[in-house]
């Protein structure tokens, strides 16, 4: 029962107070009581499970045979007429197994699992790579989960492959896996960013619930985790807004607030965006190429009373020239966790074993509706440390 959260019944007590029987009778009574206890426990467990509304899967993969909806139509030559081709369990290196999309526009897939699962810890895409046919691998995929198919929460980004280096004319498995940050819901959304304006060919979409089998994890990469003291290399650095300017009520005169090292829970420390029509984007210029970037975080206000919520996530990219950017990860985790109201919360990306490098760090805020209030952007090197500490 992968990932189930069952309410275990308390062990029942016996009211049997009669005089102790002979040995044979005692054995019989103990056996009968044990059987009764097991039956009662099973019944109570089933009732508890029914009360949660959670599905119980026979195996780890829970998406097999489930329908997939797509944000844009597949090419006529590589269709998915009934929405079931990506969950049919067939992903050979063959054109007939592929659903194909042409162009650089993102492709969003939504799979309805048919029931609610509480430990959605794995999403994989089986993808073709064929250089001679103009089929590169995607740049990345963002994974989100929803209970109702309307409101989604970002879980993370798939950037690594199960096979490690994916050879030409083979199938690669792009994987997001995170048991510690698993999702809860019935609907899983996968936003795929094509690797070019040519073709993206997808053979299968898999969703797993529960403990991730070791053989399904991405191949190990990177070196030893960073151990040097953490340094905020964005402190005091210049930055620009590229899509939206802050609201007049919460301005950023001179563009200094987000790297000044001050992020108190105070309106004066905040830069505000009201119900943004586009994702706010901030580009921090570190002044020179910096190696070993292990953590990027945005520090946000959360105040339901003031209609201020955290963003869904932050898309983090780096560049050497400020023109061509490489996406390194999605900041979807938070400190504190769970997030807290009327407090500054850190939304962060972190990878101590595979640090990024560049002069420019781009942070795209995947904002919700209402107000988004940001106090600071932090870029750390070394053994990253949390920006927010909550005293217990």
pLDDT at residue 244 is higher than 80: yes
CA–centroid distance for 67 within its chain: 21
Residue 6's pLDDT band, with cuts at 50, 70 and 90, is very low
Set out the domains of the chain in order of their start, with CATH numbers. Answer: 68-216 (2.60.120.260), 231-381 (2.60.120.260)
Residue 225: the pLDDT is: 84
The average pLDDT across 265-276 equals 95
The mean pLDDT of 275-288, rounded to a whole number, is 96
Residues 7, 52: Cα–Cα separation, whole Å: 9
Task: Name, in order, each residue with C-beta under 8 angstroms of 305's C-beta and a sequence gap of 6 or more.
Answer: 342
Percent of the chain with pLDDT over 70: 85
Confidence of residue 52 (pLDDT cuts 50, 70, 90): low
CB atoms within 10 A of CB 260: 12
For residue 336, pLDDT over 70 is answered with: yes
**Region 69-94: what's the mean pLDDT?**
97
What's residue 37's pLDDT? 43
User: Cα(141)–Cα(123) distance, rounded to whole angstroms?
Assistant: 10
Mean pLDDT is lowest, of 13-27, 33-47, 84-98, for 13-27
Q: What is the mean pLDDT of residues 109-133?
A: 98
Question: Would you say residue 42 has pLDDT above 70?
Answer: no
| Position 32 confidence tier, pLDDT thresholds 50, 70, 90 | very low
Query: What pLDDT score does 221 carry?
Result: 74
> Average pLDDT of 48-66?
76
**How confident is the model over 313-334, as pLDDT tens digits?**
999 999 999 999 999 999 999 9
pLDDT at 376: 98
| Sequence-separated (6 or more) residues with CB below 8 Å from residue 135 | 128, 129, 198, 199, 200, 201
Q: Considering only residues 15 and 43, tell me which one the structure prediction assigns the higher pLDDT.
A: 43
Indicate the pLDDT class of residue 236, thresholds 50, 70 and 90: very high
Average pLDDT, the chain: 88
- Please tell me the predicted confidence (pLDDT) of residue 57: 64
Q: What is this structure's pTM?
A: 0.83
Q: What is the pLDDT of residue 30?
A: 40
First to last CA, the chain: 34
Q: Report the pLDDT averaged over residues 200-215.
A: 98
């Amino acid at each position: 029962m992968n990932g189930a959260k069952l309410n275990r019944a308390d062990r029942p007590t016996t009211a049997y107070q009669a005089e102790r029987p002979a040995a044979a009778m005692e054995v019989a009574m103990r056996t009968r009581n044990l059987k009764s206890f097991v039956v009662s426990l099973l019944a109570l467990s089933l009732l508890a499970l029914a009360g949660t509304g959670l599905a119980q899967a026979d195996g780890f993969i829970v998406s097999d045979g489930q329908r997939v909806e797509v944000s844009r139509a597949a090419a006529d030559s590589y269709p998915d007429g009934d929405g079931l081709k990506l969950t049919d369990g067939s992903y050979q290196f063959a054109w007939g197994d592929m659903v194909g999309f042409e162009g650089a526009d993102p492709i969003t897939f939504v799979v309805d699992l048919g029931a609610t699962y509480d430990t959605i810890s794995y999403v994989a895409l089986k993808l073709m790579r064929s250089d001679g046919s103009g089929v590169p691998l995607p740049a990345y995929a963002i994974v989100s989960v929803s209970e109702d198919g309307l409101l989604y929460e970002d879980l993370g980004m798939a950037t690594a492959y199960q096979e490690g280096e994916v050879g030409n004319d083979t199938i690669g498995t792009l994987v997001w896996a995170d048991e510690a940050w698993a999702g809860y819901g019935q609907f899983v959304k996968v936003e795929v960013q094509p690797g070019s304006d040519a073709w993206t060919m997808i053979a299968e979409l898999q969703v797993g619930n529960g403990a991730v089998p070791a053989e399904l994890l991405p191949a190990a990469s990177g070196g030893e985790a960073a151990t040097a003291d953490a340094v905020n290399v964005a402190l005091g650095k210049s930055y620009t807004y590229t899509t939206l300017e802050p609201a007049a009520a919460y301005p950023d005169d001179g563009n200094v607030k987000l790297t000044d090292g001050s992020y108190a829970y105070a309106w004066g420390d905040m830069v505000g965006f009201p119900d943004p029509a586009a994702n706010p984007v901030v580009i921090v210029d570190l002044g020179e190429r910096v190696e070993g970037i292990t953590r990027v975080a945005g520090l946000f206000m959360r105040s339901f009373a003031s209609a201020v919520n955290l963003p869904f996530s932050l898309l983090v990219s780096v560049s050497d020239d400020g023109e061509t950017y490489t996406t390194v990860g999605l900041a979807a985790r938070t400190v504190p966790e769970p997030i807290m109201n009327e407090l500054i919360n850190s939304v962060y990306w972190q990878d101590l074993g595979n640090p990024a490098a560049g002069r420019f760090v781009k942070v795209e805020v995947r904002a919700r509706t209402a107000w988004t209030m940001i106090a600071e952007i932090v870029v750390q090197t070394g053994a990253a440390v949390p920006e927010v500490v909550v005293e217990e």
